Structure 1
Amino acid sequence: MNRDWLPIKTTPWTLGLILLALLLLIQITALPQRLDYWLYDRVITANPVQASDDVVLVTIDELSLNRLGRWPWPRNLHAELIAKLDQAGAETIVFDILFAEPSPDDDELAEQMHDHGNVILPAYLSPPTSQYLLSEQLPVGPLASAAAGLGHAHVELDSDGVARGLYLYNGLGERLWPSLSLAATGEGPQRAKTEDTPPYVNVRDQYRAVPLIGGAGSLPAYSFAQVLTHAPAPELFSGKTVFVGATAAGFGDILPTPFSGLSRPMSGVEFHANVFSAQARSLLIRPAPDWVSALLALATILVFALALPPMRPARTLLACATAVVALAGFYLFMLLVLRWWVPLASAMIVPFLAFPVSSGLRLAMTNRFLNRQLDDLARSPQVALPAPSGRHPTQLLEHLQALFQPTGWLLTEEGDILSRRNLCPADIPEDLTPGDWLHDSNRSWIQLLRGDTRYHLGLLLPNDLGREAIQRYLGRLHLEQTARANRNARPNENISARIERVRVATDRLNQMQQFIRRSFERMPDGIIVTDELGVIRFANGHIEEWFREPMPSLGGLPLVRLLEGHDPRETPPWHETVSDTLTLRQSRTVDLRIRDKDFLIHFAPFSLPDTDQQGIIANISDISELREQQRQHREAIDFISHDVRSPLVSQLALIEQLKRDPSHIEQSQLEQLGRLARRSYHLAEEFVQLARAEQLTETRFYECEFLAIVENARDSVSEQAVEKQIQLQLQGTEDLWLRGNAELLERAVINLLTNAVQYSPGGSGVSIQVFRAGHQACLTIADEGSGIDPEELPYLFDRYRRQKSSELAGVHGTGLGLSFVKTVVEKHRGEISVSSTVGEGSAFTLKLPIADPLA
């Protein structure tokens, strides 16, 4: 089996390995990390958190520097600020200002810090100079002792230079300082997890991403100078945590954030205040381990490797888009709800890689398939009739004899006679061109070359009117071998050229396959296809069944011999019918009888497209059923003839009786004669009307008004109704236009009304209702007669069917009236129904389509 085009077994591994390799190559670049940062920034900026009500800033801004002088300020100003905030009720005061150098005012500041009791100071990890190792930069001794806690003020910058979070603990050696925000909650230093850590090694622990409130200036802030110069404000600072730090341009930390980037950086003190606010509301985001991202990427690759190969190409893009949406939803749920930052870039890259890679594999698979199909098509035999040029001359002579029944022939091989009759080698013309027929009167000659062997073939044709047609036909035959085109050329590697070659080859195959399968195999008739010499090349199953010839023996058998073997005839002979079909290119239709079954065989010439090859299609139809119908039709005619003849014979007998005694003609005799004459007329009229109805086509339709047709029919039977004192009651006033034949419709209504009057008791009534129901014009004729036996209802509209009860009651009919009505209604694409109750009457309903149903 060809495995080049079996994607379900090979593509999952191929697709999975390719996606894995591409993803590993992408990991070398900074693309996944940048994409993770971009996704995080978009989500955080689109969903800013609300600020805690317990956080406020006191900023060292440009106003404070202008009023209080250049930095550094005397530390008594900081002591004064603590006093002001203490009086205002501030719960915690966090300084983002490093007091690393001694000052004369340290005791005053330390005393004020001690009085407040909850002042947090920062600790920095940095080398004193570039020549020293990393060390802890702590506040001076008195201040460090007076502080309620120390916290590190370091903010982590990611690889793109943007601050998105910080480590909750950071320090050197074994002691780790909590962050300023964490120290403000009372957390103290903790030991490092790793023992025997050198004192110059920076140790960080518990990284947390910070969902910011917004850009710089989002938190409530008050100028340092204004707080000092104004009275304490408990409404602003009572019970709150106050962060004090620098925000003036060029002074203090500046941190790019997801909200601002480098355009509007955030001060360090405000960033720490955001950390405290998020921490107070348990909104800090925990980063997922690196193995989670790798696991998600591998799982995504596995899903696509298994799902895409058997999937339809049109659904691949939808599947990839759905996967991106699902991964994005998972990312948002983890980040915003569970507060986990899962790096999802690697997994989200997979769908964007899967679509082109899958499409490329499908294209490569299609390319291999096209190459293989082109090779197979080049090696496969051409679907065409065998050319006569490839046959041996002895076989050609045999086929020509069966086809044309020549009176003589001659076949020689290099001068040696292979077969002859009424011709001799001396009759061979000298100027023969290989492959071209030479006709001399009723003699036809050709020279054939088969390899290095030379053959001469001559035919002595019947000297009749068909001779010239046969000779013209022989001139169209290509009996000489020609060079074959190179069919082993490799296909062009250009995909468009290969597709075009496959399309052309497939079209040719489809034409022949459709020609054979649809026109032959699926037809209910028997089909025989012959070549140019009348030799059977194809026969369907009906031929094998009807002729009882096995299929292998039918192939290569001359059609003439098959027909002569099963239905021999002399006038006209089968060979003449077959040869005339080929030579004159005219269709022939002949009766055929096989094993007591009647057939009709139709011979039709054909030519294959784009070639000179031709042959015969013989269509054999089983007409045994049709002949049986003809027999039944003759019986029907005999039946009608008998019914017509009986009243005629009675009329003649009565006339002869009157002629013998013309002086004693009685009124009853004349009435009987009239009844017989009317019955004969009615029989003939109904038979003629039924024949007209059966031959009715829509070409004889025209616009007609249904109510007028019913009124005319009522008037036609009114005299008959008056004789029996039956009242015809017509109900209906709406004009209903139909497209049909008014004459036959009127006759159908007359038949129904006549039956209603005929089978109704005297003095009763017949109801005629004309109305519209939807898109149909309806007619209901109801009588008060004896009704119809339920056993006779299914056969009521059958031809020549008469009601037994009516015949016993003396009401004689032909059995054609209701059959005529049904035929007319069906020709108008309508329907007729009947409901009847024995002893109460019958109702016939006609429904005919309206010409313009929207009117």
Structure 2
Amino acid sequence: MNLRRRLLIEWALIALFGTLAVILATHWRGTSAFDNLVYDQLSSFSRPQPDDQILLINIDEASLARIGKWPWNRNIHARLIDKLAAAGPRTILLDVLMSEAANEADDSALADAMRKSGAVFLPLNFHSPGSDGKAYDTEYPLPTLGAAAKGVGHVNITFDNDGIVRRVNLCFASDERRWPHLAELVYRNGARPSRAFARMPRCGQELLLPYAPRDSYSEISFADALEGGIPEQLVKGRDIIIGATAAGMGDNYPAPFSDGGIVSGSEIMANMVAALRRDGFITPAPTWQIALLSLLPMWLLMLGFLRWQPRTALIVSLCLIATVLLASTSALSANIWFPSGAALIGIILVYPLWGWRRLQAMSAFMQSELGELEREGEIVPLALNPDRGSDLVGRQSAALGSAIDHLRDLRRFVSDSLEHLPDPMFVTDTVGTVTMANHRIEEYLGPKLKGTTLKSLLDRIVAPAHRRNVDEYLREIEREPDGDHQPFVRFVSPDGSHFVMRSAPVVNDVDVHVGQIHYLADISALAQAENDREEALQLLSHDMRSPQSAIIALLPTVPDKDVSRRIEGHARRTIALAQDFVDVARMGESPFEGSDVLLANLAHDIADNLWPLAREREVTIEVTDQSDSAFVLAEPDSLSRAITNILDNAVKFSPLGGSILVTTRRISDVAGNMLELTICDNGPGIDPELLPRLFTRFAARSAPDARIKSSGLGLTYVRAVAERHGGKVWVENGTKGACFHLRLPEAVDPIPDPDA
């Protein structure tokens, strides 16, 4: 597995692990201790001012000492309520549970006082777990008192995991009904619910309570209020909260203050009423939002790991930690609590994990690559640095540095080799940008070709008329780097020079196409030679044939018919010689364009054409078809002429009254199904010394006293035609005369198109 793939897999695993850790920490509040600490510190920086419309009357140690041991006679509470009612308070919150009956007269006196004031609110409480397997037990106020109160609400206290009261519940749903909190009823005082209560999506949602500075609310002792005179301006229009603050009464709770300590239930109630009045409760963000926002910085860091350098990743990690804390602070100032612990957990987990895995992967990769280089023999064996003072990665890095130095030397060697190539050469990448060029092409086009585009380079070196062919050649290489395409392309430059360009794909060690290398060969001299040859061929095919044709045209004027016939024979042989030479020279320059030809019929036609010559020599030609009328893919004109050359020679070299046997048959050899044409005569045969080179140019020669002379080009043409058709020709001497064998591939029936 290569390094990139391994790092991507480990990156995905770390991202998955970090995501699960953040989600689990959010769902199970695994970072609640840290989040509570952060919340306490942040909330202490900006505490709300106490509400001056609230007055606390405390049942403190001094009151217990002066009035007596708790519980007090309820007549005492009645007297205080009467005294307070006379001053015109807005509400009186009696934060004392009175669920058990006492003296009937005292209970009635308290009920009468509450009823006359019309502003007293009483608490009820829920104890969890309840008795007899119930989830909770409800502790109601005495029915007489509950009926006299203006309202009854719950006063349940919610504790966090560390036992501190940070959250409150404005609504508690019991089996009977939904109970608003007592502070909510005090805020309403018969009017509409608070905005915080109205926004709650469900009963039971917890809100964070912002605390005013400790002991900042106006307060007086219960005994002082009962026995002394209470100024009317201290009570009129205010919310009066009567609650226990004495240490032994169990109504004091830990609060989120940095100096520790506890606050009384009445002070918590005062903070709740104040928060309701200014709509200042802090709403915890929903769990799904916390999870999403906690995952965001972790995923941003994970995505950055794919592109950033280690130093950048470290700086961004620290910045993200600061950003998370700042975001939590900013949200708190907007009365929204976003706990930052899960987000910090994600950042703190993935950064060291990724650093560790990347270091481990790099170490394993370096070890693997060094071993691979040694096995491939590209570098000499490199031992790790024996200095045990450095760690393993340090020693591996030193060994890799030595290998890189060696590869630099190899690269320099390759670069120098390319630079001193005799032909122009340049290399392009996958987008067509020149990445390397040797001095040969820079001499032609100028220096500083590196970085230019292939298009601009071709604009300077290829004439417009040849640009299309060059572009098509390069597109074929790009589409199929390893495909079967033409080996090179030939073009002319704007200054008239002739070039051949050969391009080849460049692949890396994992067979990925990374560019192309282009070689240029200046063939201007060869092009000039080709032009000269073409002029010579034109001379042979036209300028030499024209005089011979003129001679033939003048022969009727020669009185001696025998001389005329001999001159005509020599002239026609000269024309045939010129045509054979031109056809052989041009045979390889034109593409093969074949069609299906019935070989037996072609042999019959040729025999018929040579019948006059055979009749003159009293030679019989017999054509036999043993091929079951098979076809060959051939160019009819050239194949007919080649067979004519062989059969014409057979007629010429046969004795008077001789016979020639022409046979076509189907055979199979290593090349597949073939058709073979055999022409056998009963002449004198061929000189054994001439047989090995009979089909070479100008090899055939007749004896000085032979009846017929040979130029040696006819059989050269036959061999060229056989090879052009993918076949072969050979000759052998039989018991009587010579046998020529022409073997050609049988035409293949086309495969039918199933969609046709």
TM-score after normalising by structure 1: 0.44
Higher relative contact order (CA 8 A, sep 6+): 2
TM-score after normalising by structure 2: 0.49
